Structure 1
Amino acid sequence: MMPSLFIAHGAPLLAIEDNSYTQALNHLPNLLPRRPRAILMFSAHWESFTQEVGVMETFPTIHDFGGFPQALYEIQYPAKGDREIAEETVALLQAAGVPVSLNQSRGLDHGHWVVLKKVYPDADVPVVSLSVNPNLTIEQQYAIGKALSPLRAKDVLIIGSGSTIHNFSYLDMRETSNGAFEWSLQFEEWLKHTLTDWNVTDLAQYRTLAPHAEKAVPAYGSEHFVPLVYAMGAADDERIANRLHMSFRYGSLSHTIWQFGQAK
């Protein structure tokens, strides 16, 4: 059984950096029970009102950012798709009553490939990409992840890629030494207790219960937070959560890795 994972994709610079976080990403394959047959991956940078499931023979690499070093724009991550898993994903969502469509034209954005480049640098594990819908409730997002749980028994690794804290208004671009604002730490610790207790009820009310939620997840943009919920829902059958890594950049941009379910 594969666990499901939430992985912060941070700034695109992670793709060309070597630090404690990228080293943790490099190490992730060693924590899995075996090599995945495919990776099913929600990216915060693909928003859609209807759930979309992406499949292509080979995904093009989308460089959806500006103002970064040229080396980032030269990176290609030519992952193959897996049509069988993509179609099974659609079928599972339809059975759960989730409106869904198959997308056969969209490439992998940096929410996908920055993470994947560190975890499987040779692009040799097939990928099925998924959109996110921040307009759904936490319960609805959780239910989408739960619907996909059977794929874990088929050696499919389900990943949510986003950031538990993501607010450009509170970034200190001078802070690059892993220092963190106190409010960032308080939010992450509340989240740690809530997830490890598997308290979906409190998670659904994080905006009123979590300290500094208005800073961590701005009301105008929760798209980076919701991949966490999809990944958590995918392990509803086990309800085990473990934070594997936490570090920070720019004072508040959190680099967290969460494992849901056991690797076995």
Structure 2
Amino acid sequence: MTVVPAERMPALYLSHGAPPLADDPVWPGQLAAWAAGLPRPKAILMVSAHWEEAPLALGATAAAPLVYDFRGFPEHYYQVRYEAPGAPRLADSVRKLLGGAGTPVQDVPDRGLDHGAYVPLVEMFPDADIPVLQISMPTLDPQKLLGIGRRLAPLRDEGVLIVGSGFFTHNLAALRHAGGQVPGWSAEFDAWGREALEARDIDALLDFERRSPAGRLAHPRTEHFAPLFVTLGASGDGAEERRDVIDGFWMGLAKRSLQFG
């Protein structure tokens, strides 16, 4: 019997939004259109800004409740369900790729998808019929995350969609003083990041806290930018063809979202 190889999947970095993204008049449609133009994944590997745990952890590979990791929202946001199949085979592949390269891996079998994972997936793959595995970020060190992405890259040839889920700018405290406008620090960092990506200046991106304008304002804590480096690593350090699929701002934050390959 001839085995037909899976179609190589792209690698994505997306700005995932908060639970109210579902009520935005534009953004859900952008995410849905993006997914409609992708090859159908055999499985999805999610790296969310909202799960930091070391050693690197593999989330649930069987049914587990979602993680509603937010407070103070209307009740209906806590009623959202996304009952995608688990991905035990993908988990085995991740263990082999990372463990074989010396990266410790642990299992957290009761850890469901957090909002950095399920909020965009609800819009992109609403049927919830594709197996999903979420893994933690064991560090916020960009160089180490780049290395993890490189080691995960072969999964793309097995039909796995690798998704880094963060936010291109993220400083909720500073937004309170923006008066509903796009603050200068958010616009400046977004423009700088776009130019660095276009130039494939990985060194600048790795050192974004010092080399970008307003970098420490755009990301006073770096967890929402960090998933980008997993995506970059999985795309040959950003060497593949890149598309900025979504840009603009949402509540003053840059929602720039990228596709490599």
Task: Provide the TM-score with structure 1 as the length reference.
Answer: 0.90
Return the match for 1:5 from 2, 12, 19.
12
Report SS of the residue matched to 2:186: helix
Q: Distance in 2 between matches of 1:175 and 1:8?
A: 22
Q: Give the drift of 1:223.
A: 1.1
CA contact (8 A) 1:52 1:130 kept: yes
**What corresponds to 2:30 in structure 1?**
24
Give me the whole-angstrom Cα distance separating, in 2, the residues matched to 1:110 and 1:46. 10
CA contact (8 A) 2:187 2:254 kept: no
Q: How does 1:85-234 map to 2 (within 5 A)?
A: 85-135=90-140, 137-172=141-176, 179-218=181-220, 221-234=221-234
Structure 1: runs of 5 or more not aligned: none
Residue by residue over 1:79-132, the C-alpha shift from the partner in whole angstroms, topping out at 9 and shown as x without a partner, is: 111111111011101122212122211011111110110101121111011111
1:40 equivalent in structure 2: 45
Counterpart code for 2:229: V
Q: CA RMSD in A?
A: 1.7
Question: Could you give the per-residue CA deviations for residues 205-251 of structure 1, whole angstroms, max 9, x where no partner exists?
Answer: 11111000010010xx2111101111111111743332111121232
d(CA) in 2 for partners of 1:49, 1:198:
29
**1:28 is aligned with what amino acid?**
W
| 1:48-103 alpha-carbon deviations (Å, 9 max, x no partner) | 12111223222311211111112111111111111111110111011222121222
How big is the shift at 1:142? 0.4
- Could you say which residue in structure 1 is the equivalent of 2:3? none
Among 74, 80, 84, the residue aligned to 2:85: 80
Aligned 8 A contact 1:6 1:159 in 2:
yes
In structure 1, C-alpha distance between the alignment counterparts of 2:63 and 2:29, rounded to whole Å:
27
Output the amino acid matched with 1:27.
A
- Taking the aligned partners of 2:241 and 2:204, their CA distance within structure 1 comes to 16
C-alpha spacing 1:102/1:121, structure 2 compared with 1 (3 Å):
same
Q: Among residues 53, 61, 72, which one is paired with 2:58 in the alignment?
A: 53
SS in 2 for 1:223: helix
Q: Which runs of 4+ in 1 moved over 4 A?
A: 173-176
Give SS of 1:146's match. Answer: helix
Unaligned runs of 5+ in 2: 1-7
Deviation at 1:174, TM superposition (A): 8.0
Whole-Å Cα distance in 2 between the matches of residues 76 and 175 of structure 1? 33
**What secondary structure sits across from 2:111 in the alignment?**
coil
CA contact (8 A) 1:55 1:86 kept: no
Distance 2:201 2:136 in 1: 25
Q: 2:129 & 2:177 partners in 1: Cα distance? A: 35
